[in-house]
Amino acid sequence: MVFEYTIQKSTNHAIIKLEGELIEKNQATDLLIAVEELKNANINKLAINLLGLKYMNSSGLNTLIQLLTKARVGGGEAVLYNMNKKINDLLVITKLHTLFKVASTEDEALKLLGVA
């Protein structure tokens, strides 16, 4: 399965929707470049929708950490939401759930970012 993403920009935040399988490092190169451009435009609050992400491995986890790092370096934050059980379990097993802010819904994610 292919990895795809969409970015919906607002004035001070973006909603990033991830879909498919994130299992290779080079799959997310364009996404990371796009988020760097958002950061340079002072859009540093990211709500990351994982509903369509069916599977990820350590490369996918690394991509999420890079998204979080870019947001925080830019003075913002990243919130993950709409995770399936497999992705949630992976974050718990790796203890990365303590690193990320996690929400159930988009509204909740936007509230955690302070933009709703």
Kindly write down the DSSP assignment for every residue of 25-75, as one continuous string.
Answer: GGGGHHHHHHHHHHHHTT--EEEEEEEEEEEE-HHHHHHHHHHHHHHHHTT
The half-sphere exposure of 10 on its side-chain side, counting CA atoms within 13 A, is 13
9-59 pLDDT, tens digit each = 998 899 999 999 999 989 999 999 999 999 999 999 999 999 999 999 999
Query: Residue 25: what pLDDT?
Result: 85
pTM equals: 0.95
**First-last CA distance in the chain:** 34
- Domain 4-113: give its CATH superfamily: STAS domain (3.30.750.24)
**Extents of the domains making up the chain:** 4-113
Q: Is the pLDDT of residue 116 over 80?
A: no
Residue 70 in tokens: 């870019």
